[in-house]
Amino acid sequence: MNLMSYRNGPVFKRLFRKAEPLLKEKREALGRKINLLEVCGTHTEAFSKTGVRDLLAPYINLVSGLGCPVSVTDQCDIDQMIAYTKCENVIVTTFANMMKVPGTHSNLYQQKLEGSDISIVQSPSQALEIAEENPDKRVVFLGIGFETTAPSIAQTMKKAKAQGTKNYFVYPANKLTPPAVSSLLMDKEHQLDGLVLPGHVSVIIGRHGWQRLERFRVPTVISGFEPIDLLSSVVLLLKEIDKSSHVIQNNYPRHVREFGNGQAKKLVEEVFEVHSPSWRGFGKLPDSGLTIHAEFEKFDVRKNIVTDKPMSRNVKDCRCGDIVKAKEVPFNCKLFAIACTPESPLGPCMVSSEGICSSYYQYEREY
């Protein structure tokens, strides 16, 4: 099947007609709506954008957590990244979705307006190219992401080492999702009946990479992002609800293998090591992030370029910390759609199209 087949309207309708009795039966058996957690900004957006969230709403309460990497990055990291834009002889390179992330006193967009040298790149390799073209400058790449961006960042450091590049640096802020999802499942406040896992992270870590979640005995499925992927994943979860033990189901086999992408994982292991960073909302999570291995420390910006230590504080009244922990919905933030919009975001969840607040702003607002 090609990609379009997973968007086929008549097939989707037939699947929904078949699923409806099961949806009704499970909702009645529970005596409440079925609570399903999704932990990926791409899913939050896809469920809303495709209308699947609305269609399922009579039966299912889709709870959003984590969101995008920008949303879960700690405020101290954001401020530290902004601090590098104020250093002499530095070009900061970043993905576009970082530009409007609010730091305590400024953001990258504001810094650029004030004269800092900041370039938006499409990939880490483009940042390395900028370093090669500007040998008299120090080029810093802001390495924010989940498991999906880590291999390409690792690749640039390997290449820089091999060719002797001395002016390329990385701010390592990649996060690992399974420990954060475990933390959500450990939270007894959540009454969860199922969990939808991100297809793209699973392409890297494989079905096996999520195995630690099986001990929570919650029905769990790896899903793609097209309408038929979303609905068929929900059906798979419903069928599991009454069972006492659960294996992680792979409903994205067209891209996800049992052990993921071996080459990408090897690259990451060579260049990075696992550490325990702070996440927005969660605080320190054991073994939930990647830092640069000693062998590659000459590319670690924190060890090679000194900045003033910025003072950090979160925006008053911003609920992003609770939203990424799935304890709040954007509508309950008093700044939502009033003071905080995608044009002028006050918190990180409103910045990228995959931030939870941004998705709710685009698709779930009532006019």
Residue ranges binding ligand SF4 (CB under 6 A) = 318-320, 323, 330, 333, 335-336, 340, 345-347, 349-350, 357
Closer CB to ligand SF4, 119 or 342, in the complex: 342
Q: Cβ distance 27 to 56 under 8 Å?
A: no
* CA nearest neighbour of 73 among 355, 309, 307, 338: 355
CB of 278 to ligand SF4, least distance (A): 18
How many other C-beta atoms can be found within 10 angstroms of the C-beta atom of residue 311? Answer: 9
Closer CB to ligand SF4, 230 or 340, in the complex: 340
How many other C-beta atoms can be found within 10 angstroms of the C-beta atom of residue 175? Answer: 22
Tokens 């630690």, residue located: 212
CB of 315 to ligand SF4, least distance (A): 6
CB of 171 to ligand SF4, least distance (A): 22
Closer CB to ligand SF4, 126 or 314, in the complex: 314
Q: Cβ distance 104 to 75 under 8 Å?
A: yes
CB of 232 to ligand SF4, least distance (A): 31
Closer CB to ligand SF4, 78 or 154, in the complex: 78
Closer CB to ligand SF4, 143 or 321, in the complex: 321
Q: List the strands of the sheet with 90-94, edge to edge.
A: 118-120, 90-94, 138-145, 168-174
Closer CB to ligand SF4, 128 or 335, in the complex: 335
Taking the CA atoms of the chain, what radius of gyration do you get in angstroms? 21
CB of 118 to ligand SF4, least distance (A): 22
CB of 280 to ligand SF4, least distance (A): 10
Tokens 């992270």, residue located: 201
d(CA 12, CA 227): 7
User: In sequence order, which residues have a C-beta less than 8 Å from that of residue 218 and are 6 or more positions away?
Assistant: 185, 192, 193, 194, 195, 246
Structure tokens at 48: 């809303």
CB of 350 to ligand SF4, least distance (A): 4
Question: Which residue number places its CB atom closest to ligand SF4?
Answer: 347
Total residues found in the chain within this entry: 367
CB of 80 to ligand SF4, least distance (A): 20
CB of 322 to ligand SF4, least distance (A): 8
Closer CB to ligand SF4, 275 or 327, in the complex: 327
**Type of residue found at 96:** A
